[in-house]
Amino acid sequence: MSQQLETLADYIKARQIGGNHYKTKIQPWDVFLDWEMDPWLCNVIKYVQRHAKKNGIEDLEKAKHYLEFAIENYDKIKAVYYK
């Protein structure tokens, strides 16, 4: 990581590859890091946040899919990610 970039969030923002659908005031990465989320709920946030600027209902369906998985596997996910 470059010395000019002080945090992981700064690094991620500087390295965004392709698309403008995440160039918003609040980055999904910031939420993931701050809330210490598991990968399934991270994807829910990601797809909901970008749906209007990228794939519309397809992204909402993806978010639903990840949320359903998280609900069905809640105890396993909680044991690993939320000790």
Residue 22 belongs to a domain: yes
Residue 29 belongs to a domain: yes
Residues 26, 3: Cα–Cα separation, whole Å: 23
Residue 2 belongs to a domain: no
Residue 57 belongs to a domain: yes
Instruction: Give the HSE-up count for residue 37: Cα atoms under 13 Å, Cβ half-sphere.
Output: 18
Q: Domain span at residue 19? A: 8-81
Residue 41 belongs to a domain: yes
Q: How many domains does the chain have?
A: 1
Residue 3 belongs to a domain: no
Tens place of pLDDT per residue across the chain (83 aa): 445 556 666 666 676 666 665 566 777 778 888 889 999 999 999 999 999 999 999 999 999 999 999 999 999 999 999 98
pTM for the whole structure:
0.71
Residue 13 belongs to a domain: yes
Residue 1 belongs to a domain: no
Q: Which two tokens stand for residue 22?
A: 């995440």
